[in-house]
Amino acid sequence: MAAPLELSCWGGGWGLPSVHSESLVVMAYAKFSGAPLKVNVIDKTWRGSRGDVPILTTEDNIVSQPAKILNFLRKQKYNADYELSAKQGADTLAYIALIEEKLLPAVLHTFWVESDNYFSVTKPWFASRIPFPLSLILPGRISKGALNRILLTRGEPPLYHLREVEAQIYRDAKECLNLLSNRLGTSQFFFGDTPSTLDAYVFGFLAPLYKVRFPKVQLQEHLKQLSNLCRFCDDILNSYFRLSLGDG
Amino acid sequence: MMAFLQMCNLPIKVVCRANAEYMSPSGKVPFIHVGNQVVSELGPIVQFVKAKGHSLSDGLDEVQKAEMKAYMELVNNMLLTAELYLQWCDEATVGEITHARYGSPYPWPLNHILAYQKQWEVKRKMKAIGWGNKTLDQVLEDVDQCCQALSQRLGTQPYFFNKQPTELDALVFGHLYTILTTQLTNDELSEKVKNYSNLLAFCRRIEQHYFEDRGKGSSSIKSS
């Protein structure tokens, strides 16, 4: 397509092109589908609204949210799923729902709610990429939003105490990781030999969990035991992102 | 829920109670009362029934169990949220039907207060998961996508995992049946479902097989 596609997203670290799950999902999908994206990493000088990141900008459109961005790319004929059968397409939707319901709360918690992790890793990393004085406000806002989301969707009776909710969401996340591992088995990707949307989503959520160095790491430890999922992340990093890491 | 218990061949007696939400240990209907134990919500009820020796998904291998769980999440994510949205965030439906139905067991002014409170709670939840800004059309589109996925997964099989019904079949039946039989101000939601003939046939088959055969009426119990 002629129109240049620009993706604005959070940058990388620890060997990843981005530490932000949703940005990573879009980047991975773009690599899989061959979409020529120009990636703009957000730093202090970036002027846009950071709450909506990742954002795809073309000549006439601005699209936010991974699902919408992926839809847009598909309409532009960058489709990573054209080899999938109808049933596999349906499975993709189901597994994405599973990830969003069961894994996302725990990932949000690990990054944004767990105090040791948040104060020593997440907040400094994001604050250094946000101009003052927003750097004082925005990370806190994201953190509260994450906690809110966790409590509203999972914190219903009989789980009244935050600690019980935390225990439950980590249990669910571990189960979800086990299910994904079972489903992947020994295949290279979730649907055969070529990566698809589901692979982009799984990679987007698992890779930061796998690579970012946190003080409190229970979910990471669990993930590291599932060697096929780790191999899956490493394969994608090596095959699709090794060259672009050099360009930053 | 009823479908699940019927599928397990367990004899059940259905009771409608106004304070059902409060009797339940987790604040959610439906719940079952067995002897001196009370268990609520689909997940724990399934576990409970399993512990008593009845399970529908024993015949599935690990990969299929993973698929089943994934599809159950999809249904919960999309259909349940869409149903909640329609009941509580669509102004027309809220004004005409939901408020009245939710508050009906209670005297004035309690009926209004409780209904508003519930509406506020639901709206908060919608906002947290990012559905706060969705329009009705977008919600309907999501439902359509979900039904399409379910329809494709079901294909021409009698149940989602071929010959035997599982928890997923019970869950899907419960939601689709509710959507098809509930009177709302606009019928677009049930029209979306009706577009998929294999899903319609699926519902009819389960209804006939598990409900009418046993001489029970086909009215569904709704939380109110």
Helix, strand, coil percentages in chain A from 3-state DSSP, rounded to 5: 60, 10, 30
Domain ranges of chain B: 1-55, 58-212
* CATH of span B58-212: 1.20.1050.10
A157 — contact with chain B (CB < 8 Å)? Answer: yes
Does the beta-carbon distance from A98 to B27 stay under 8 Å? no
Answer yes or no: are the C-beta atoms of B15 and B21 closer than 8 Å. no
Does the beta-carbon distance from B152 to A86 stay under 8 Å? yes
pLDDT one digit per residue (tens) for chain A, 248 residues: 445 788 888 888 888 888 888 888 888 888 888 888 888 888 777 766 667 778 888 888 888 788 888 888 888 888 888 888 888 888 888 888 888 888 888 888 888 888 888 888 888 888 888 887 788 888 888 888 888 888 877 766 555 677 888 888 888 889 888 888 888 888 888 888 888 889 999 999 998 888 888 888 888 888 888 889 999 988 888 888 875 544 43
Q: B134 pairs with which residues across the strands?
A: none
CA pseudo-torsion sign A38, A127, A101, A63: negative
Report which secondary-structure segment, H or E, holds A198.
helix A197-211
| Tokens representing residue B171 in the block | 């869950």
Nearest CA-CA partner of A150 in A191, A203, A103 = A103
| Tokens representing residue B162 in the block | 């071929």
Half-sphere exposure of B16 (CA within 13 A, CB side): 7
Nearest CA-CA partner of B207 in B172, B163, B164 = B172
Question: pLDDT tens across B121-171, in order?
Answer: 778 777 777 776 677 777 788 888 888 888 888 888 877 776 777 778 877
State the burial class of residue B212 (Cβ atoms within 10 Å of its Cβ: 0-12, 13-18, 19+). exposed
Answer yes or no: are the C-beta atoms of B1 and B174 closer than 8 Å. yes
Distance (Å, whole) CA B31 – CA B20:
8
Portion of chain B with pLDDT greater than 70, in percent: 55
| B 74-113 residues inside an 8 A Cβ radius of A | 74, 76-78
Parallel/antiparallel/unpaired status of strands B37-40 and B31-34: antiparallel
| B 152-181 residues inside an 8 A Cβ radius of A | 152-153, 155
Distance (Å, whole) CA A40 – CA A56:
10
B/e letters for B108-119, b = 16+ CB within 10 Å, e = fewer, are: eeebeeebeebb
| A 6-25 residues inside an 8 A Cβ radius of B | none
Contacts of B156 (CB under 8 A, 6+ apart): B198
Identify the closest residue of chain B to A142 by CA–CA distance: B128
Nearest to B128 among A65, A101, A149 (CB): A149
Question: Residue A212, Cβ neighbours under 10 Å: how many?
Answer: 20
| Tokens representing residue A155 in the block | 């914190």
Does the beta-carbon distance from A102 to B124 stay under 8 Å? no
Write out chain B residues lying below 8 Å of A86, CB-based. 152
Write out chain B residues lying below 8 Å of A183, CB-based. 63, 66-67
ipTM score for this prediction: 0.74
C-alpha of A38 from chain center: 19
Does the beta-carbon distance from A95 to B25 stay under 8 Å? no
Identify the closest residue of chain B to A68 by CA–CA distance: B138
End-to-end Cα distance, chain B: 16
| Tokens representing residue B12 in the block | 């059940």
Does the beta-carbon distance from B78 to A97 stay under 8 Å? yes
Taking CA B207 as the corner, what is the angle to CA B201 and CA B213, rounded to the nearest 5 degrees? 130
Q: Tell me, which fold does domain A5-242 have in CATH? A: Glutathione S-transferase Yfyf (Class Pi); Chain A, domain 2 (1.20.1050)
Write out chain B residues lying below 8 Å of A153, CB-based. 125, 128-129
Q: How far is A161 from chain B (nearest CA, A)?
A: 14
Distance (Å, whole) CA B85 – CA B88:
5
Helical pair B110-128 and A134-154, crossing angle rounded to 10 deg:
120
| Tokens representing residue A85 in the block | 């059968």
